[in-house]
Amino acid sequence: AQKVTQAQTEISVVEKEDVTLDCVYETRDTTYYLFWYKQPPSGELVFLIRRNSFDEQNEISGRYSWNFQKSTSSFNFTITASQVVDSAVYFCALSESSNSGYALNFGKGTSLLVTP
Amino acid sequence: NAGVMQNPRHLVRRRGQEARLRCSPMKGHSHVYWYRQLPEEGLKFMVYLQKENIIDESGMPKERFSAEFPKEGPSILRIQQVVRGDSAAYFCASSPRVTLNTEAFFGQGTRLTVV
């Protein structure tokens, strides 16, 4: 069963639009961590954020913001005023205490294309 | 402080050959994870190793795949008799200790192409 669901396979926006990437997770643990990674066309994984299950405070970092809601098991990611350089595949991931070594469960990713 | 180093970055093998992927963890990190990313897919956990021990290989295919993390030297993911379906990006991550609060650092990946 998929533990992390990113329902949006591809999103295309025009530069300067805001865009929200959805992430829904499933876990029985009370303590867990959620992550977002960016994978640009060059292929490496870029760490964006890590959030623990006890901290539901929304976070903002420049044009990026994250909305964590335990009630709906969601950890959504919003890019404000998108730019062409934001074009990438974005992965949401879950780390649970029940995973050996706290290995990550990744979603299938959302491919974001920002056009000029 | 160098990050997680994977080599080669790109590897081309003919069907039936062996592929060896190397991962040098960050200095001081004794925990290594291997993930596989098939085309158009997210990363899937393959194996978790500590120095000289395989802790969890539940994500590894039962045949042809093996991993090691010796006392000295890099971690090696070995794929014998490669087939086209093994074409993927293989990522290694390392961490200094195993707690839920510890971030794992990823290498840049090795892209294996089987022709």
Q: Which residues from A are below 8 Å from B111, CB to CB?
A: 43
CA distance A4 to A66: 16
Name, of A46-55, A106-115, B1-10, the range with top average pLDDT: A106-115
Which of B106, B110, B112 to mutate to probe the A interface, most A CBs <10 Å? Answer: B106
Per-chain mean pLDDT for chain A:
92
- pLDDT for position A102: 81
pLDDT at B90 over 70: yes
Q: Which residues from B are below 8 Å from A33, CB to CB?
A: 100-101
SS3 A2: coil
Instruction: Encode chain B in three state secondary structure.
Output: CCCCEEECCEEEECCCCCEEEEEECCCCCCEEEEEEECCCCCEEEEEEEECCEEEECCCCCCCCEEEECCCCCCEEEEECCCCHHHCEEEEEEEECCCCCCCCCEECCCEEEEEC
Beta carbons of A45 and B109 less than 8 Å apart: yes
Beta carbons of B91 and A45 less than 8 Å apart: yes
> Under a CB-based contact definition with an 8 Å cutoff, are residues B20 and B110 in contact?
no
CA distance A27 to B102: 19
Compute chain A's Rg from CA coordinates.
Answer: 14
Q: How confident is the model at residue B100 (pLDDT cuts 50, 70, 90)?
A: low
Show the CA angle centred on residue B22, arms to residues A106 and A92, nearest 5°. Answer: 10
Q: Which residues from A are below 8 Å from B104, CB to CB?
A: 102, 104
Per-chain mean pLDDT for chain B:
92
- pLDDT for position B11: 98
Segment A83-104, tens digit of pLDDT = 999 999 999 999 987 777 788 9
Q: Name the residue among B45, B89, B109 with its Cβ closest to that of A103.
A: B45
pLDDT at B1 over 60: no
Segment B63-84, tens digit of pLDDT = 999 999 999 999 999 999 999 9
Q: How confident is the model at residue A1 (pLDDT cuts 50, 70, 90)?
A: low
- pLDDT for position A99: 76
SS3 A84: helix
